[in-house]
Amino acid sequence: MRLTVGPHRPSVYWRRRALVAIGLAVLVLLGWLAVRGSGGSKPAAVSSTPAAASGQPAPVTSAPGDLASPSFVQATPDPSTTPSMVHSPPPSNVAPCGDDQIAVTVTTSPSPGVVGGTFTFSVAIVSTAGDWCSRDLGSGAQEVRVLRDGALMYSSDDCSSGRTSDVRAFAAGDAVRYRYTWSSYRITPHNCTLAKTPAQPGTYQVVARVGTKVSAPVDFIINR
């Protein structure tokens, strides 16, 4: 059976068909290699988590409350430098105020408070002297204590980072007030570390001290 048509010998046409078949085979092979080269190796996996997420701080696991080291914060200006005070400047040499020449009182807010809450103690220091006198109001001289049934639970001295001195001059009747914040998770005597559990419901007392002058104890309540 002859499958060639034309003036040439059959071998010429067979060679032409072979060349066409080889060309088609080469094209198919090149196409297959191209497809394999583009999809054969997978890119490295990229995390779906945004880059910023890896820089987020770890969750805080400390007990709630006031985490920073507490300190005394003056709530009213220095009485010797307040323009509204109607008196002459203090003399160059002001005698120290004796304990009988100042009054120290303390109040608590809130009271009652709640378990795990933070409480602000307001300490007022008033001169009862008849003339100018001076008193050290630095962190080394001031202290607040939290007690329960007379037993010490907390002292601000345990969290004091430095015992500084700050001598202030008082005219007769001058007053200055300080605030101190206490976390009810600070309940271990002689230790500033936050406890795992806060002070439990009950009645507590706070006492303020300025040097050797100590206020009367004041009750405050913690409720559930």
Half-sphere exposure of residue 16: CA atoms within 13 angstroms, side-chain side: 9
Assess whether pLDDT exceeds 60 at residue 63.
no
Higher pLDDT, 21 or 174: 174
* Structure tokens belonging to residue 206: 């706070």
Taking residues 64-71, what's their average pLDDT?
Answer: 60
pLDDT value for 61: 34
Give the start-to-end residue ranges of the domains of the chain.
73-86+93-223
Taking residues 58-70, what's their average pLDDT?
Answer: 47
pLDDT in tens, 101-140: 999 999 999 999 999 999 999 999 999 999 999 999 998 9
pLDDT band at 44 (very low <50, low <70, confident <90, very high): very low
pLDDT value for 91: 87
* Structure tokens belonging to residue 105: 């009182």
Taking residues 67-77, what's their average pLDDT?
Answer: 76
pLDDT in tens, 161-219: 778 899 999 999 999 999 999 999 999 999 999 999 999 999 999 999 999 999 999 99
Q: What would the CATH number be for the domain defined by 73-86+93-223? A: 2.60.40.10
Predicted model pTM: 0.66
The rounded mean pLDDT for the chain is 79
Taking residues 29-34, what's their average pLDDT?
Answer: 65
